[in-house]
Amino acid sequence: MRLRWDEDAFQSIYDATARPLWAYLLRVSGRRDVADDLVQETYCRFLGRRDNVLAMNEAETRSYLFRIATNLLRRPLAARRELSRRRCR
């Protein structure tokens, strides 16, 4: 399925991926607050790249979100906080 970029398409992606993404981040980080922050940052980055995700199918989109989240987990906490402040304004 190819996605047309609109609010309904994003909501569909979010509904299908937010809970498993949060569970993954919680399992790896061990902290709910970190999981919450990284889910938000993951979707901010995802939305910032929406031109790249238009051609992705559902499996590719899910994989891309988890890749973003994994990369964010690797960043030091201070760097994640600063990035979040700058990107989501």
pTM for the whole thing?
A: 0.77
Q: Are 16 and 62 in contact (CB under 8 A)?
A: yes
- Would you place residue 82 in the very low, low, confident or very high pLDDT band (cuts 50, 70, 90)? low
Lowest mean pLDDT among 10-14, 17-21, 48-52: 48-52
pLDDT at 4 over 60: no
| Mean pLDDT rounded to a whole number for the chain | 83
Average pLDDT of span 20-48: 93
Q: Are 56 and 4 in contact (CB under 8 A)?
A: no
Q: Are 73 and 28 in contact (CB under 8 A)?
A: yes
Would you kindly state where each structural domain of the chain is located, as residue ranges? Answer: 7-87
Q: Is 1 helix (H, G, I), strand (E, B) or coil?
A: coil
41-56: b (≥16 Cβ within 10 Å) or e: bbbebbeeeeeebeeb
- Greater confidence, 26 or 78? 26
| Alpha-carbon span 27 to 10, nearest angstrom | 25
pLDDT value at residue 2: 47
pLDDT digits (tens, 9 = 90+) for 41-58: 999 999 887 777 777 888
